[in-house]
């Protein structure tokens, strides 16, 4: 990011900082914001130098981890906040993410059964789609 640019501060536009433990806490911070229609959530993070690969863009593994968290948090809400785990995650990388970009993820549940949830989502920067992801989550104990 050029020195003359002020980094985006999510807190100034209604985003709330998540306080996750474990792995998400190592790669975050992540932020969340309820959609304007009140029906779902958006999740975000600012691309930092530690997220970059040798090519100078955000590493695909970081984007996959973020997509997994976005879809997983959406499933967790849909499953009544019961513990869930990823069974399958498919990602397609569409465009790169640069240092300083604010990355936003959204997901939607396609179908819920007694024991599994099917979900898809998009990760974007502004109006640019970065990653498309879809997957299956197992509701633990179901």
Task: Give 64-129 as a DSSP string.
Answer: HHHHHHHHHHHHHHHTTT--EEEEEEEEEE-S---TTPEEEEEEEEEEE-SSEEEEEEEEEETTEE
CB 105 within 8 A of CB 44: yes
**pLDDT of res. 7:** 77
What DSSP state is assigned to residue 37? T
**pLDDT of res. 78:** 92
Q: pTM of this prediction?
A: 0.91
Domain range annotation of the chain: 10-139
Residue 2 reports pLDDT greater than 70: no
CA distances, 5 to each of 2, 63, 107, 125 (Å): 6, 23, 30, 17
User: For all residues of the chain together, what is the average pLDDT?
Assistant: 92
Give the total residue count for the chain: 142
Residue 79 reports pLDDT greater than 60: yes
Residue 83 reports pLDDT greater than 70: yes
Average pLDDT over residues 102-131: 97
Residue 1 reports pLDDT greater than 60: no
Average pLDDT over residues 119-136: 97
What architecture is the 10-139 domain classified under in CATH? Roll (3.10)
């Amino acid at each position: 990011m050029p020195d003359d640019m002020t980094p985006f501060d999510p807190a100034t536009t209604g985003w709330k900082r998540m306080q996750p433990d474990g792995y998400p806490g190592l790669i975050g911070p992540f932020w969340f914001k309820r959609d304007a229609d009140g029906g779902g959530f958006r999740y975000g993070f600012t691309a930092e130098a530690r997220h970059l690969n040798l090519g100078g863009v955000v590493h695909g593994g970081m984007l996959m981890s973020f997509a997994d968290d976005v879809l997983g948090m959406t499933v967790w809400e849909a499953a009544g906040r019961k513990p869930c785990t990823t069974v399958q995650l498919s990602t397609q990388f569409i465009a790169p993410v640069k240092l300083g970009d604010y990355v936003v993820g959204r997901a939607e549940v396609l179908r819920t059964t007694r024991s599994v949830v099917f979900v898809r989502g998009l990760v974007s920067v502004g109006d640019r789609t970065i990653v498309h992801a879809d997957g299956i989550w197992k509701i633990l104990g179901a």
